[in-house]
Amino acid sequence: MRAGFAQIAPAWLDGAETLEKVLDWISRAADESMDLVAFGEGLVPGYPFWPDLTGGAKFESEIQKELFAHYAKHAVDVAGGGLRAAEKLCAQRKIAVYLGVIERATDRSAHSLYASLVYIAPQGGIRSVHRKLCPTYEERLVWSPGDGHGLQVHEVGGFRLGGLNCWENWMPLPRASLYAQGENIHVAVWPGSRRNTHDITRFMAREGRSFVISASGLMHRDWIDTSLPHAATIIEGCDAAGSAWLADGGSCIAGPDGQWLVEPVVEQETLMWAEFDIDSVYRERQNFDPAGHYSRPDVTRLVVDRTRQATAEFEDGDG
């Protein structure tokens, strides 16, 4: 199996233009005979960098309200077919995709937003939408907490794929829920930071005795469209922070022995892949299988609720 990542920048806060770019990079991955390609967290329409740069915690802030409204309008209605073009392309090119999107969830009022990791099968069709369980720090000012519905694995090419968003990868129990389903390729998606991916990617590979793809995005101060709401204020915040890179990438791939197959790549758009051999998984699980012979379900067990959360149930009578 040939699998890897597309480390790209969004057309920041422009959902339609970013999705067109994603389609182009899916085609590039298919041209490289890749079976699976992963993209960064919240790539469509982009990560919410602005709260940290514009006083995001200020209550009743017009800046925050206007930016959120713009963000919501460019978010993806997954259930309403917002990724249909990507589904069609995956079916045509016979490639599997993990894509980070900001989801405007119609089953939760269609106004709150979720950082969702979407899996599109090589036959076409969305097979899971994992809404991030715990938005991190300032993300909580923009994103809503998700649920366990998307803690699923998928069969592709003799492997079982699973994925988590950003700091979820540091949560032992969500990782364990994927191990329990036989995951042997783990996709970790990030907004983009080598400091996040460098250590944990190899650790997860070693712990899970699995292949691990860390897929990150990119974002630079100079790529902020000056026509966006409050763009000048955001750019001023970047300058005050003293770093032009809001997200420097760091995408990488580790094998089941915890060794690098692709070391972290920074500050460039790129498509990288590695050849995955299932025998490598079996070799490393000879002495450690976290959900198999090296587990003690008689002592510790995990209960996972994969119900899609809802705020109401409706019973309509006849007539």
Q: What is the pLDDT of residues 70-93, one digit of tens each?
A: 999 999 999 999 999 999 999 999
Nearest Cα residue to 34 out of 209, 213, 280? 213
Under 8 Å between Cβ of 135 and 115: yes
pLDDT category at 241 given cuts 50, 70, 90 is: confident
Q: Considering the entire predicted model, what is its pTM?
A: 0.96
Tokens, residue 135 = 């938005």
Q: How confident is the model at residue 57, as a pLDDT?
A: 94
Q: Give the chain's mean pLDDT.
A: 97
Per-residue exposure over 290-313, b if at least 16 CB sit within 10 Å of its own CB, e if not: bbeeebeeeeeeeeeeeeeeeeee
Nearby residues of 236 by Cβ (< 8 Å), 6 or more positions away: 53
Q: What pLDDT is attached to residue 223?
A: 97
Checking if the pLDDT of 95 tops 90, the result is yes
Could you give the C-alpha distances from 156 to 2, 63, 183, in angstroms and in order? 11, 44, 11
Q: Is the pLDDT of residue 274 over 90?
A: yes
Q: What is the pLDDT of residues 108-132, one digit of tens each?
A: 999 999 999 999 999 999 999 999 9
Encode pLDDT of 182-235 as tens digits: 999 999 999 999 999 999 999 999 999 999 999 999 999 999 999 999 999 999
Asked whether residue 318 carries a pLDDT value surpassing 80, the answer given is no
Instruction: Note the CATH architecture for domain 2-285.
Output: 4-Layer Sandwich (3.60)
Catalytic residues: 41, 132, 166
| β-pair type (211-216, 96-104) | unpaired
Q: Is 113 helix (H, G, I), strand (E, B) or coil?
A: strand
pLDDT above 90: percentage of residues in the chain: 96
pLDDT level of residue 319 (50, 70, 90 thresholds): low
Tokens of 1: 């199996």
The mean pLDDT of 127-154, rounded to a whole number, is 97
Rounded (10°) angle between helices 15-31 and 84-93 = 10
Grade residue 296 by pLDDT with cuts at 50, 70 and 90: very high
**Mean pLDDT of the 174-185 span:** 98
Per-residue confidence (pLDDT) for residue 206, from 0 to 100? 98
Q: Which of 201, 26, 154 is nearest to 97 (CA)?
A: 26
Domain boundaries, the chain: 2-285
